[in-house]
């Protein structure tokens, strides 16, 4: 179990790889896109630099962490000789089913297959493998190196042995694992996404503006970030995807995504990653681009 594969080098994937590598695991980071791997490794390096500046780790710790990560574009080579695979690909059910079917053929019989899905059924994912007892959810929170919670989700057939192994493993990462059962949205998003959706409905109905809604929730409810700002941070496309999974799973209108959210995603206004969502991040992105030219 000291050898771990992480599939996907995006925000969650590189954060998961960073966390395992910093805890002394050998990490095989896999992505079909070489540019994504390069960007993911650059992100890990920058995040480690921040930790060095804050004196949370030493330069030697940074070097060791980066040295623990090997990148692959070939999944068959990337999952060789690992005790655990953590899938952190795009939140798309068809893609995840395809990946897990492939992993089942490629991985050793005893390898545990985990998914970082934030809403998709673990039982459904496990059903495309011949090892449903070894398929489990590990829902990390963003940013992964900082956030302590890991939602551990048991599928219908997930074994006690696999669950206990992943619970203990999460603790070695310095995380606080919390076991939940396999229902749409699990716990975190079953509570969070309706709140975000209702905040968007409040804006859509003209009750208040963006900053006013966020101010009420930050000052009145002691939230560190307002729900609309948080939605931008998560990605409005991701929020929409999770709400659709919950709506399909429960068939309850309270989970139906707000029309404003649907239209914003259609228009490509996805939040921080696109430069605009409920807030405008274009100047920040321009500043980062200029700064990178002199780095």
Residue 176: strand pairing partners: 149
Strand order in the sheet with 135-140: 69-72, 26-30, 3-7, 84-87, 112-115, 135-140, 149-154, 176-181
- Where in the sequence numbering do the catalytic residues fall? 118, 139, 151, 189
Which candidate, 49, 99, 70, places its Cα nearest to that of 3? 70
Which candidate, 241, 244, 217, 242, places its Cα nearest to that of 229? 217
Residue 261 contacts residue 244 (beta carbons within 8 Å): no
CB neighbours of residue 128 within 10 Å? 17
């Amino acid at each position: 179990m000291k050898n771990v594969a992480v599939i996907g080098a995006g925000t969650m994937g590189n954060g998961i790889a960073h966390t395992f590598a910093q805890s002394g695991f050998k990490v095989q980071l896999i992505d079909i896109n070489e540019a994504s791997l390069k960007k993911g490794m650059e992100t890990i390096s920058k995040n480690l630099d921040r930790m060095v500046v804050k004196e949370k780790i030493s330069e030697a710790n940074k070097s060791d962490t980066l040295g623990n990560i090997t990148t692959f574009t070939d999944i068959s080579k990337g999952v060789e000789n690992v005790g655990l695979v953590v899938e952190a690909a795009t939140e798309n059910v068809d893609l995840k089913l395809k990946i897990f079917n492939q992993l089942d053929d490629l991985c050793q019989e005893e390898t545990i297959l985990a998914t970082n899905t934030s809403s998709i059924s673990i039982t459904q994912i496990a059903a495309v493998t011949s090892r449903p007892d070894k398929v489990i959810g590990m829902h990390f929170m963003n940013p992964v190196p900082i956030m302590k919670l890991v939602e551990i989700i048991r599928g219908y057939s997930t074994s006690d042995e696999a669950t206990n192994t992943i619970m203990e493993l999460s603790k070695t990462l310095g995380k606080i694992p919390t076991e939940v059962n396999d229902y749409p949205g699990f716990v975190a998003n079953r509570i969070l996404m309706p709140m975000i959706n209702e905040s968007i409905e409040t804006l859509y109905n003209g009750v208040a503006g963006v900053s006013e809604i966020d101010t009420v929730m930050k000052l009145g409810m002691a939230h560190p970030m307002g729900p609309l700002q948080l939605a931008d941070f998560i990605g409005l496309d991701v929020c929409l995807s999770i709400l659709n999974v919950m709506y399909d799973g429960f068939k309850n209108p309270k989970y139906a995504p707000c029309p404003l959210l649907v239209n914003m995603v259609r228009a490509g206004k996805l939040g921080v990653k696109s430069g605009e969502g409920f807030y405008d991040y274009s100047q920040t992105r321009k500043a980062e681009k200029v700064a990178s030219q002199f780095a």
